[in-house]
Structure formats: C-alpha cells, structure tokens
A and B are shown apart, each in its own frame.
Chain A
Amino acid sequence: MVAKFELDDDSVVLIIGTGSGGGVLANELAQKGVKVVSLEAGGRYMPEDYINDEWDSFAQLAWTDTRTTSGDWRVAKDFSGLPAWIVKAVGGTSIHWAGASLRFQEHEWKPRTNYGHVTGANLLDWPIDGAEMAPWYEKAETKLGVTRTGDRPGLPGNNNYKVLEKGAKALGYKEVHTGRMAINSVDYDDRLACQQTGFCFQGCKWGAKWSSAYTDIPKGEATGNLEVRDRCHALKIEHDDKGRVTGVLYADKDGNHHFQKARVVCVAGNSIESPRILLNSASSMFPDGLANSSGQVGRNYLRHVTGSVYGVFEKPVKMWRGTTMAGIVQDEARLDPSRGFVGGYELETLALGIPFMAAFLDPGGWGRSFTSAMDGYENMAGMWIVGEDMPQETNRITLSATAVDQFGLPAPNVHFDDHPNDIAMRNHAYARGEAIYRAAGATRTLPTPPYPSTHNLGTNRMSENPRDGVVNKHGQSHDIPNLFISDGSQFTSGAAENPTLTIVALAIRQAEFIAGELSKQNL
C-alpha cells in the first residue's frame, strides 16, 4: 500500500532524490518504520519503458536543465551546457550506471595521511575507514547482488573483455577479471540474469542490473511508509528561527508550488544539485547558504580522472555486444608515487554505439582522421579510465549570476580545472591502455577525451572537524542537525573506484543512524 502524507505532516523524513543514495535511504528508513516522503524531479520509467537507442534514451532520461561550465577541462569546451551525464527520473543515475561495484582500498580513506601534502590539492582524511565500512559494504553488496562477492559468480566475458584480458595479461597484469558488478550473473532478488544485450547506460530492460528504480523504491513503497512524488522539483529548503530545517518548497509537474513540512531533510540530488539547493536556500540567518559555515558547500568538486582508449584491430570485435562494462584491470589502482602521481586508476571495458561514438570519440574532430577511426568501429575494443582526482577548493559548483533554470532560480555553474596530478595520471593511463591494445594486436589506438561527468562527487564533503567540511561521519550537517547529505557529494575524496557501491553503503549506514536518532528523540 503506497503511503500518502499530508503537506503539514511534520513527522516525515523528506528525501530529495531517489537514486542510489536517496532511493536506498528511503527504502531502508521505510523498512524500519520511518515515514518518508521522497521528492523526485524526474518521471517514473520502468524497464519496459527504457529505450535501447542512444539519443532517444538520452532524451528520455538525461538531466538537461540549464547548466553552465567554466575552467580548463575539455568538457567545458565540447559540452559547455552539459557538464554531467546523469539522469532525471525515479531511480536517478542508478538507471544509467554501468554496475561496477568496488570497495575503496584501505589507503584511500586517508588520502591526506597517505599521499602527504600535494600542492594545490585540498586533501582531507575521511572521518571513517575501511574497518568501519566493511559491514556496510557487505550489506550493500548483498542488496545489489554484486558478482564475485558473497557466493555470487562472476559474469561471463564478452568479446570486448576478451581483447582487454589478452592484452593486459600479455603485459603481465594480474588483477584482470570480469569485474564485481551489480549485474546478475544468475537470477537474484527476483531479477533475471544478464542477457548480454548491451545498452547498460540506457537502463537495463531485463532488470538484471541493479537500479533503485525497480528495487528499493517499490520495496519501500510496499511497506506503506514511503511516498514518492515524481516530477516534483525541490526548490528551497526552509528553516525556523532556531536554525533547524522545517521542510522543502517544491514545484509539481504543473509548476505549482507546495511546501512539505518535515522533521528531517536529506539531500540526495547528485553533486551538482545538492550543493545548489543549499546555496539557493540562503537566508538572513544563513547568508552563504545552508550548512555552509565552513565555506565548503559546492567546493572540492570531483569527477574522477577519466578518459577512454579505443583500439582498432584487423578483425571484428563487436564491442557493443553484451555487458557495457564487462571487465577490469585493477593493477594500476594501487598507490605507487613512483609512477609520477598519487592515487591510482582502474581500467574498465566500455562500449558506445555509433551515435555516441560519433559524439564522443573526438568532440569537434572531423576529416579522414576521424572518419577512418569510425570506419573501424566494428573492429574496435574500448576501455574507460577511472582514477582518483585531486580535490581542489576552486573546482566548485556556484550559482550563476546570469543563467536561470525553468523555475527562475539561478542555474549551477560547474568549474573544473585539471590538477597536474590528474593530468599525469590520465597520460599514464592512456599509455597503459594503448599498450594493452597493442599487445592484443591493435593497428591503431585512440586516446579519447573525458565525456561529460558521470561520477560527480565531493561538493558537500564529510569531515571530522566542522571547519573543514559540510557534514560529519554520518552525513549529518555540522551546522544543522536535522539536515543530511545522502549522495556522493558527501565524499571527502574520490578514490579510484566507481562510487555507487560506496554511496549505497553510506546510505544504508545513514538510515541506521537516522532511525536510531529518531527513536532516541535526538532529531
């Protein structure tokens, strides 16, 4: 029985966003008997609605509200209005993600301690570590059905993986396998095993890949404790004269404004929208925005060191067949400053269809150099680089002075400059990726620039000391006790791993904390 709560019901926990952070938090709280209202800016799409066509799917799912960009990153030049490739829908970007589910390495929880001082980087240790997170990771892996964890087998390798594996092993890499993936290798949690259909980025039409859209959200709704209001866009968080938040003003699908009262507000709108609503909620009591006494709201924007390498071979690979992220090389994820940079990176297979390959292979490129590469499409293998980027205070989300969104609110500007460590890591990864494909017989390799960001992190960072960050080790605002951050924006650093598993683990852990504090009348 789906719940329905009154706007003036101030006993509810209100969550903004329904992705891997907000969607999981909503279900976990609902399972514990906590009443939850979730606001979701996008519509509700189920597997039968997903479209296996790149541009049509993009039109269906992508967050394309007005955004601006600045900085020296190439995305600002190539995709100035699209800094991030994320989803506006019930389930958020968990519909789009590829499914890679990797735990942080132990040293990555304490980057300031383990990397030392890095000029220009705002490195900070997390107030939690691997031992603290281990049981939450295990719960997250069980929830998502992550392969190669528990007793779940790995996925079979597709053609794209086999090429990667051959080249990587020829170079002596050891940690080469088909990944730890939130894609069923066998039927699990009433969802089918992977049918090797491709189009993982467009939403899994079999439901074999975990997404909160068709797991946690309906399970939460089934408790009778969760009401999801889709096509309801949060505009502003309001507070009382004691400095506690009281609820959220939002616009419904017709543009009508409503105010939902709440006992607790959790923000999980992804790392661009989450700091943006805190900044857009500035008041006379909080002139710099909510939860911003540290001045860190919106800062330390992380997007991972990314890039792709495609290899063209003499014979067909057909990389688009099967799981998009079908395998991984983990040897370079280690910390080894002798390579010329701190942090590490993963290499993961990736495939695009012809339409997105044309858009992303070399944005702005043209002529025979470009088209002869496209002509090699059928014989191409592809991999994606995902590595730890350096937090910088000046890489940040700010409110545009000129651009506004469809509600007349200041649009977010996303500023990003590559740190020298980021550039050194990317160049190293390009060289290793090209070497892998050459070792497998590539006749041509294509070091491809980063796509619009899918891993958006760090803009409401977690810190031990309130002076250094926005939230404490539970994602609770240092300044406002009944305001939480529940998405990847609470990351203190990015680590080398795809972030979703850690977002889910933190959300499960946060639900336990919030439910406990509610029962103790501390919230």
Chain B
Amino acid sequence: MTTLTANRGLRGNALTRRQLISRSFAASAGMIIGAGFIAAPDAAWAYEATTLKPETMATLVRMARDIYPHDRIADEFYVIAVKGYDTAEAAPGVEAGIAALNAAAQGAGHADYLSIGWEDDRVALLRGMENSAFFQQIRGGLVTGLYNQKAVWPIFGYEGESFSQGGYLHRGFDDISWL
C-alpha cells in the first residue's frame, strides 16, 4: 500500500527522526532515502515506495522539480505528482528511464543524477533527452499531476472556485489599486 501523509508519515515506523537519519543517506538537500522510503529531513512527510527503488523515486522527484522548478513548492507536492508511477505496470519503464538519466550523468563525469549540485547542469542532461518518450511521459504527467493539485493553487495566489462564496461581485473583482 502506498501512502503519503503530511506530518504523520513516520508515525507508523518505529523510528525516531535520529534513527531515520542515521540509517539513511541524504539524496540531496531536502530529501532522505531510507529502506523503501523517501522523506523530508524534518519528517514532515514520507513516501514509502512499494515497487520503485527508493533511489529511483528520489531521482524521479528531483527530475520532476528540475522540469517544473518552483522554489516555493515543497518536495511533498512533487512526490504526489509522480507517485502514480510507483506501480508494477509503470515501474519498469521508470527504472529504465532513470537508469538512462544516471548513465547520462556518469557520461558527464558525475556519480549519478542526484549528485549533481547545480540545477543548470542537471537541466543540460534533461535537454539532451527531452524528446525521449520517458521525458515526455514524466513532463506531460506533471502538467496535471503538479498543477492540478488544489493544495498548490494558493502558492500561486490562485483562489479556485468562488461560486460557493457568491462570486467576486462584492469581494474584489475590480479591486485593483495600483494602476
């Protein structure tokens, strides 16, 4: 069973935050990979991969952020956007795609994709594979997987529906003041 639960993701594990960190290695700033899971360093969220290797999942999340980088959007939302690939049907293709990405990173002199420090250097690798079916699958999925999450809309200032509040006729449809 796959779960992603903010603020209580680790409660089911008999692990303290210290144990968690000691048993895992930092994948990149802001993400922790353990046996079967990736998590935020403050344990604010965790995702337990069931089919994908946790390193693959972490790389996929990093790739997702590099495709659509929003510095004000937490990893948690990128995890939600790609966790649909953690299935028996989708996993082989994703494992192969991430393996190709890591091979490209190694070809450029890095240990793997996650170890590349600068976004520009990772993006250069992605540009080299942007016409591949794998890249387009991930990118295309993110358009809805990331931006159709209601929880990210407020980060963009978007208010969603207003019918339930009677619209904006009396709530600022014409309130622009700086023009």
Instruction: Tell me how many residue pairs across A and B have CB atoms closer than 8 Å.
Output: 117
Is B174 a contact of A158 with CB atoms below 8 Å? Answer: yes
Q: Given A157-B174, A355-B147, A367-B123, are A320 and B167 neighbors across the interface (CB < 8 Å)?
A: no
Cβ contacts under 8 Å, A322 to chain B: 167-169, 173-174
Cβ contacts under 8 Å, A162 to chain B: 174, 176, 179
Q: Given A159-B176, A205-B163, A358-B147, are A374 and B69 neighbors across the interface (CB < 8 Å)?
A: no
Which A residues form the contact surface with B (CB < 8 A)? 52-53, 55, 156-159, 162-163, 166, 194-199, 205-206, 314-318, 320-322, 353-355, 357-359, 364, 366-368, 370-371, 374-375, 377-378, 440-441
Separation in Å of the A56 CB from the closest CB of chain B?
9
Is B174 a contact of A53 with CB atoms below 8 Å? Answer: no
**Distance between Cα atoms of A371 and B72 in the complex (Å):** 11
**Distance between Cα atoms of A238 and B54 in the complex (Å):** 61
**Distance between Cα atoms of A53 and B158 in the complex (Å):** 12
**Distance between Cα atoms of A317 and B175 in the complex (Å):** 9
Interface bracket on B:
20 to 34
Q: Given A163-B176, A358-B143, are A367 and B156 neighbors across the interface (CB < 8 Å)?
A: no
Cβ contacts under 8 Å, A377 to chain B: 156-158
Separation in Å of the B121 CB from the closest CB of chain A?
13
24 cross-chain CB contacts under 8 A:
A53-B161, A156-B173, A158-B173, A159-B173, A159-B174, A197-B168, A198-B162, A206-B163, A206-B167, A318-B176, A321-B159, A322-B169, A322-B173, A322-B174, A353-B153, A355-B144, A358-B146, A358-B148, A359-B144, A366-B67, A367-B69, A367-B123, A375-B72, A377-B156
Is B110 engaged at the interface, CB distance under 8 Å to the other chain? no
Q: Given A157-B174, A322-B173, are A366 and B68 neighbors across the interface (CB < 8 Å)?
A: yes
Is B172 engaged at the interface, CB distance under 8 Å to the other chain? yes
**Distance between Cα atoms of A157 and B173 in the complex (Å):** 8
**Distance between Cα atoms of A346 and B173 in the complex (Å):** 23
Q: Given A53-B160, A163-B176, A199-B161, are A368 and B69 neighbors across the interface (CB < 8 Å)?
A: yes
Is B11 engaged at the interface, CB distance under 8 Å to the other chain? no
**Complex A-B, nearest 6 residue pairs according to Cβ-Cβ distance, in ascending order:** A378-B157, A197-B167, A195-B167, A358-B147, A52-B161, A322-B173
Is A375 a contact of B167 with CB atoms below 8 Å? Answer: no
Per-position 1/0 for B114-151, Cβ under 8 A of A: 00000000010000001000000001000110111000
Q: Given A55-B144, A158-B174, A354-B153, are A196 and B168 neighbors across the interface (CB < 8 Å)?
A: yes
**Distance between Cα atoms of A364 and B142 in the complex (Å):** 11
Cβ contacts under 8 Å, B156 to chain A: 354, 374-375, 377-378
Cβ contacts under 8 Å, A158 to chain B: 168, 173-174
Cβ contacts under 8 Å, B8 to chain A: none
Is B109 engaged at the interface, CB distance under 8 Å to the other chain? no
Cβ contacts under 8 Å, A163 to chain B: 176, 179
For B176, the closest partner residue in chain A by CB is A159
Q: Given A322-B173, A358-B143, are A316 and B162 neighbors across the interface (CB < 8 Å)?
A: no
Separation in Å of the A176 CB from the closest CB of chain B?
14
Separation in Å of the B139 CB from the closest CB of chain A?
6
